[in-house]
Each structure stands twice: as structure tokens, then as C-alpha cells.
Chain A
């Protein structure tokens, strides 16, 4: 099985408000709506990333890379800096506790895939 995760940063939403980048996709209606509806979770998420001393975008990519059976995430850089920055994700080791915390912040949808969360 080869699994490729697309939009691993959810259009930049998981990259954190503190990063100060005004990405194009971040301006889209769905990402704005997502940021609003998930404000509490995003607060916890960014706090967790701060405690790790890592950029939220890189923690999100590292999370994908930690999933068994996943080939990797698709990173869609808009700039050269975004591309080079994401290399750090390959070096981040997330402990079992941190992975558990991430699951608590972002629980899976449960139920039948993919209708539980798509289509």
C-alpha cells in the first residue's frame, strides 16, 4: 500500500496563525471557515507545537510521516522558502505521548470512510 497524503497542512490552516505568512489558500472561504470552526483545537495545536519548539507546519508533516504505511505527504510550496523549510519535518521525532496528544486534539471521524468526512 502506498498512501500519499494531500493538503497535509489543510490549506495552511495547520501551519499556524503565528507564522505570519499570508498564503493564497489561507484566504479561501473554506480555510477561513475551518479556522473559525476549529479555533479551540487550533489553539491547542499551536500550543503543543510551541512546547515542542517546532513550526506547526513541520509538526503536521512529521505527523503524516509517522503514520505506518504512509509514503509521505504532498507539500505544495508557493515559495522556495516554504520548500526548504519543510525539510525539518523529516528530522522531527514525535514521541508516543505527543502523538497521543495530537490524536486528542484532532480525533478521527470514525464511522464509514470516506462518507464520514468526505463527499
Chain B
């Protein structure tokens, strides 16, 4: 068309060029059999990469991890997401996947029990050594927890507050993070004065140096049972089982404990 100027032609070339340059990527970024695709709850952000790296070295397997909320991963696996292994923050999801036929019944393993802590920034002036009662202070204006409706760590936080008879007093100061990681960000960024977060996050390299925390006794809340399961659609079940076996090894358990998880009470249920 003579109506398109040189500039117009250049513009069209730009768009089309980009599009044409987009060849379809190779379907498998990883080759089959000696690779695993793992879905993990976001509270494992600071812990799982280290664990997985050791496994990769010892087993000679390449592992790709995708983090998201346990609920979203649950829905995705039910709709055909190509994950081999699912690390959930809540053992309920893997149980439901087994019930709906999307996960192998024999593979369920409670790999860790979550712990919660009261965390605050270094210079916040909040004395966390006093435990949860410090949250009554008027200086503590906002308290971050994970959303109890969707996150097991959030439910545990609420349970702990009720246990200490603090819930009614501090309810108005609660700020909800979409997941435990977001709750941690809220405190870390100063938007909340203190927060009840996962110990695994508090011990992580990013937060350890920046704040102080106090453990909340496990007796104050129902146990946060974290379960892992192998999906039915997995094409690398053998390798997946290797990963689950690795979790039972003393070095793995030690790493988990070191990272802020309690060791599993029993291997499988």
C-alpha cells in the first residue's frame, strides 16, 4: 500500500519480527527420567532450594521447583499440571488429591511439622522476649499473620493467640498476608510492627540478620502437618520416590530441623 510510509513499514516489521523470532520453545526444558518437576508451598521458599540442591548432587537428578500457594497448586494438579511431586504446607491437600485419584496413595509422607515464631525487626523497639503478650502494647499497632482462611500458618497463629487469650484484644491490629511469605514481608518492610511467621522464614538468610524472634511453643496450636505426595500423572515416579526417600535420611532431617521445622512425628499416615 502506498499509504504506508517507511516509518509504518518499520513499525510493522518490528512487531512481526518479534513475533516471528518467537519460535516455540522446546517442550521439555528438562529431559525426561533424570529430571523432576516439583511443586512446593511458598513457605518452603527458603528451605527447599537447599534441600533440593543436595539431592541433585547425590542422585544426579535435575530438579525444577515451582512455588505457589498450596491451594493454587492443588487446583492446578487436579487440572493436569505436570508436576511429579507436591510439597504442601497443609497435609489436607495431598490427602484430597489421593482421594480424587490425582496422587499415589502409598506415597503420602509427612516430611515436617511447621513451627511459628513471633518476629520483629531489629530496631523496632518491640521486646519479643516477652512472648505473645507484648502484642497488647499500644506501641504495637499492626500485627502481620498469614490469612487463616487459606494458610495453615495463619490458622496456627490465630490458635496461638486464642490459646494465650490474646485474640480478642489484638484482633483489631491484625493485618493479613495472602500467604506466610507475604506476612513476613509485611513485618520486614515495616508495614507491621510485629508478626507471627514461619520459623523457617525467620531463620532464612534474608531475615535472620534483620530481626529478632521468639519461638511460640508447639503446644499453643494444633500441629502444622506438612505433607508431600507423588502425583498420579507423574512420568518419573521412580525418581520421585528417590526424592521422598532422601527426605527420610538423617542429613535431610537435620537440614529441615536446622531450617526451622520440627522432625516428623511419624513417617506416614
Query: Do the two chains belong together in a single complex?
Result: no
Q: A residues within 8 Å of B by Cβ? A: none
